[in-house]
Structure formats: C-alpha cells, structure tokens
Chain A
Amino acid sequence: MSTQYVPGLEGIVAAQTAISLVDGANGRLVYRGYVIADLAEEMSFEEVAHLLWYGKLPTRAELDALTLELAGSRALTPAATATLNALPKDTDPMDVLRSVVSVQGVEHRLEKPTIPLAIHATASFPTILAAFHRRSLGLEPVKPRADLAQAANYLYMLNGKESPPELVRALNTYLVLLADHGMNASTFTARVIASTDSDLASCLVGAIGALKGPAHGGAPSQVMDQLELIGTPENAEPWMREARKRKVRFMGFGHRVYRVYDPRAKILKAMCERMNPDFFALASKVEEIALRILHEEHPERPQSTNVEFYSAGVLQAIGLPKEYFTPTFASSRAAGWTAHVLEQVANNRLIRPQSEYVGPEPHKPVPLAERG
C-alpha cells in the first residue's frame, strides 16, 4: 500500500545504517558509536576512514597498511589526466571532479563495490583537485608523496610545498568532521545508485552531483560571498536587516535534522577563532545577528548555525580558494559515501519509490497532421 506523499521524504526511513547517526535532538553526530567530538581532534582522516569502512578503529598495523594503500592509489590514470587537461581552465572544480572521478573509475566496469575500490577512489579526489587547481593557475601538477598522509599530501599537491603542521592538522580535523553525516542527499544518491547494482564510480559521480547543489554542499563558498558583501562587523546588522526585506537567505544557517547547535560547527568555530581572527570577528557578529533575526521571524524554529558557516573560515585559513571548499568537502565525504555504498550492497534492494500522478486522465492523442 502506498503511504501519503511526504515532500522531501522528510521523516521517511530510507535505510538502516550503522555508519553514522545524526542525533539532532541532542546535537550529537556519532560515527560507528563514537561521538564526533571524541574523534575530531584526536584521529587522522585515515583512522576515521578505517572506522567508517571496517567498523572499527585501526590498530597500528592496520593503520599503516591503510595509509600505504591510500598513498599507493593516488595517481591518476592516463585517461583521467587527459580528461582533466581537456576541460577549460575556468571550469567549476565540482564539474571537474564529477568528470574525472567518472573516467578514473572506468577500468572497474561493473565490479561489485569493495573496500579496496573505496580506498582507491577516495585516494584520488585530492589528486584531481590539486592537479586542476594548478592547471587553472598555469602550473604543472605536483606528484603525490607517499610519505604524507591524506591532509598533508593534499596541501602539498596544491601548493608544491609542505604546509605548516597547524594547517595540516586543521585540514585533517575538517576532513574528519565532514566524513559522514547520516542519510544526507548525496549519500542517499550514492545508495540509490548502488541499489541498481551499479559500480562504485557511478555512485560517486551521482553523489558529487548532489553535493554540488547549494542546498547541500554547495553553500560554503556562498557563506564567503555573503560575508564579503557585509564587509565589517558594524555593517552586519544594517546589511542583514535590509537583506531580509529583499528575502535574501542567510547562508550557513538552518538544518533539517539538528535542533540544537551542530557539534561540528562548534569545533570549527573554535578553530576559526584561533586560526582566522579577522574572519571570526566578522563571522561571529554575523552569526549573532542572523540568529537573532531568524529567531524574531520564527521563534518556533531552531535556527542553528550549520557546519558550512565556520567551515568557510577554517578552509580560508588553510589557504584554500573558495571554489575548492565544496570539492574539499567531497574529498572528505568520499569516505562516507563509499562506506554507505558498501553497506547498501551488503543487503541490497532496489530503491524505487512510487510517485503520485497529478496529470490529466487518459485520452487519445491527435495525430500531427491534425494538430495546431
């Protein structure tokens, strides 16, 4: 029997999962049983990816093996490199990622997704992004370094030199924080694609396409754009009140699931305060005013700051250009996407919901000659 149409499938259970839990009521994000705050500043991205893929934190030997496998999977195939070089230099890096992840995966055809394939795909994201970033600047790509971890190597490939440890550490924390987040739209996309028995690269290109949307992962650069328009803390209130009259949305606020402060935003906010004081001075003022205005308009709504708001300041402090905020999000979430695909495939059923027809009742078509 059909249930009633629920716009956005809000509250409809689409999967059972043991990968992550967004406990919105209590403001908790849980990876495989661990609360994000306990992982974020302690664990490497590799350890967390291991946790998501294998269901447990790695021993030293397991971590070494995973680190080695990731490092060994960073190179692009010749076809992927050629595709990357064929795209115009000013292409949206998300479109580059979508196209090059697609070609990077073709040798696996219709292979069933596995952990080695997940590792292989996740390892390639930073290489694609760094190579295209350098290409857009007219620079040669820098070869990945096997002795560097995911975060350090990404910055190395972007900049052609090693980054200071505090920046590497900050990027690592960002990658840990964003690695998974329940049944969000991109993860759900990946699971729908996996449910047809399609391959892992197919799941990933779909997820990248979904993450690109401004209502999902495409907003952090818009946070930056909005802060740039506001300019100074003093201008925050007049600008925002005026903007609200024109129905302008405040970027980086609101979330369907959290009813209290997003635990990731809390960690990123503290990092911003440390790493990016200018951004923090403006952003914290904008946050204060935004929450106040939103509360005035909808006192019943829990209008909390979301992860994208302070992500922008952290990624800026790390030195990433704003067009690379969403793709860097993707490079983290690739771990979660692939973990979800593996979970879906282990207990698969085609995801094929129903629709409700709202068109006219059947009648005969008029042949072309008699139309018009």
Chain B
Amino acid sequence: MPEFSPGLEGVVAAETAISEVDGANGRLIYRGGYLIEDLAAVATFEETAYLLWNGELPDKAELEALRLQMAAARKLKASAKGALSSMDPATDPMDTLRTVISAQGATKTLTKPTLDEAIALTAVVPTIVAAAHRRSKGAEPVEPRDDLGHAANLLWMMEGADAVPERVHWLDTYLVLLADHGLNASTFTARVIASTGSDLTSCVVGAIAALKGPAHGGATYAARTMLDKIGSADNADTWLRDAHAQHARFPGFGHRVYRTYDPRAKILREMAKTAAPELYTTAAHTEEVALQILHEAHPERPNATNVDFWASVVLTGVGIPKDLFTCMFATSRIAGWTAHVLESMADLRIIRPASVWKGPQPGSKPLPIGSR
C-alpha cells in the first residue's frame, strides 16, 4: 500500500478532459483545449458552460437554445421557495444556497445525473443567491427575466434595476474564469458523491458545502476582509509586517498547484484597474509588499498571488457585497462541478480510499459500564 500523502497531494484521483491546471507553466486549460486567457477574451459564461458540458464551443443556434433553456429554468419550485422563506434573513447565504438548492433538486426517486439537470441547477443558482441577498436587506425577491444573460440577470435580480454593460461584462468574465479548475476540493467532493451512483443535486450540495470552507471558496471573502483592514496603500507595509509577525496567513496568496502567476489572477488584476480603481491601488501595493514578505520568509516557495485576491477586487468593482463572494464563486463553478459529474458517469467506480489505523491494538474487551 502506498504511503499516506496528507491532503492526497500529488495523488491522481481522476482522469479528466474538463480542465487542466498546468501549474508549472501557469496555464489553465478548459475543455476543448482552450487557454483561459484566450477563452475569456471571446466567450460568455453561457458559452463556457456549454463548452464544459459538451466539449466544444456552441454555434449561434446551440447558444440560443442553451440561453432559452437556462432562462426557462430560473424559477424556484414552491418547495424551494418554502425552504427559502423559512430561513432567517441573516443566514449565511452559502447556507441558504446549500439548503434551497437541496430542496429545489429534491425528487421522489433517485435519478441519474443528466445534462438537462445540470443546466437547470446552474440556471437557478443566481435566483437563490439574489433572493438571499434581497431578504438580508429586508427587500422582496425580484423575479428573473428571460431576456437577460446569466450575469445580467443575476445583477437584475439582486438590484431590481438594469446594470450598466461594464458591470455585466466584469461579472461575466469573472464567471468564465472561475468555472472550472481541475480537481479542487469541491469538484473532488462532487465526483466522490457521484461515484456512489447518487444524484446530481447531492453532488452539487456537497460541492457547495466544500466550497464554503475558508481554505477553498471562502478565500475571496478573506482577501477582501484583509484589504478592508489594511484600508489604504500607505498602511499596507505596516499592517502586513505586523500580521506576518503574528504568523497570520495572507489570504489570496499561495496555491498548491501554480508555481507561477495564476493566469486568472492576471486577467482579474487588469480588469480591477477599471472596475475598482481605488481598491486597485491599495490591492496592488498590498500584493507587492505581501509577495516581498513571503519571499523573504520562504525564498524557495513560489508565493504567487492567487485568483481569490484579485477576484475580491473585481467583485467589489461589480458592486457585489463581500458576504456574497463565495456564492458568486459557486454561481460560476457549478458549471464545472456538473461537467465533472457528467464526465465521471462514463466510467463510474466508487471512490473509496484506504486509511491507516492509528488507534489502539484491536481486540481488548470492553469493560461493563459499572467497572469503567
């Protein structure tokens, strides 16, 4: 039996054609063989989702069909609405999403994951996120519109007003960039759940649950919180050196796979200049100092800025409140989760790793309760 590799680091747990994180060369490749920077320049979220699900970019007719199908799947079922309205408006929106999508996907009997179901679940996430947001503000949910794209409709449902095209474009690009990323913890969770023959909603609920963790999807929120604490560019040096002296981790820096600058971070950094010029200044200086400190501490480590850092700045520029950052991540990544589950269906084998026993020598007889 191979040795225990904590965190399964370096262990290959799946073969996939959905995406490839080429950490050594700082490349992210999406299905079909497209580099993320090439794709982000030409494709919308819907086109990207189509690509991840079907293996090729859609033509105009295929894209139109997908748009219609997604627009028609944006409404919540009565049971999901019931679950949503039962929840305290102050609930963590990721918990609301986890619960309401579970209710939305609840069925009478077990069904095998299908592409139609992947499309429907992906389409309904913004409805839940926007409703959770409006409820937290004491406002009524806004019904989805079927004439808007995925990103535009999300902003519409959050705000009840049309967003300017720039904001829609920034959000849409963010959604393209985050849609898949190899075998990260939430995608892996979805694949483990799928491997038991379970249904697609169970896979998505589990993935949301994993994404919620601060060591995974919660890092965007943490990065923005750090920027809030730093406050301004001239405070970055003092704040970061203090934090480092207290052994605090810098959210938004470091990644297990990339050994060079994360290509998504590069695109987001560029967008941040126009999307959030003020925060960009603070963030750029923070990045410079953080990388310097991390390099001094561990010259051997490639401590590159990761996607969470610059995503937090761009989402701020879009006008997304930071308590919805992880939900935005889920809104995008569900395309990847479902694509991975559908891919795994072709050769389903239960994922059941081994463990090493570290407990007491087996076989001692339990004492009766009176003698313990």
Contact = CB atoms under 8 A, between A and B. Distances in A.
B92 interface: yes
Contacts, number: 432
A356 interface: yes
A25 interface: no
B188 A57 contact: no
Contact of A214 (B17, B196, B214, B372): B196
A10 B352 contact: yes
A77 to B, nearest CB: 9
Given A8-B350, A82-B86, A110-B92, A213 B197 contact: yes
B201 interface: yes
B317 to A, nearest CB: 26
Interface residues of A, number: 116
B98 A215 contact: no
B183 to A, nearest CB: 4
B188 A352 contact: yes
Contact of A34 (B33, B216, B366): B366
A365 interface: yes
Contacts of B38: 364-365
Contact of A354 (B13, B35, B105, B186): B13
Interface size class of B (residues with CB under 8 A): 35 or more
A210 interface: yes
Contacts of B15: 5, 355-356, 358
A185 B358 contact: no
Interface in A46-84: 47, 57-60, 63, 78-83
B138 interface: no
Nearest to B204: A209
A202 B326 CA distance: 14
Nearest to B348: A215
A368 B209 contact: no
B276 interface: no
A216 B350 CA distance: 8
Nearest to A104: B99
B11 A3 contact: yes
Interface in A1-28: 1-21, 23, 28
B42 A367 contact: yes
B27 interface: yes
A145 B286 CA distance: 57
Interface of A: 1-21, 23, 28, 30, 32-35, 38-39, 42-43, 47, 57-60, 63, 78-83, 85-88, 90-92, 95-96, 98-99, 102-103, 105-107, 109-110, 182-186, 188-189, 192-193, 195-199, 201-203, 205-206, 208-218, 256-257, 349-368, 371-372
Given A19-B359, A109-B95, 5 more contacts: A5-B15, A7-B347, A15-B355, A17-B359, A106-B87
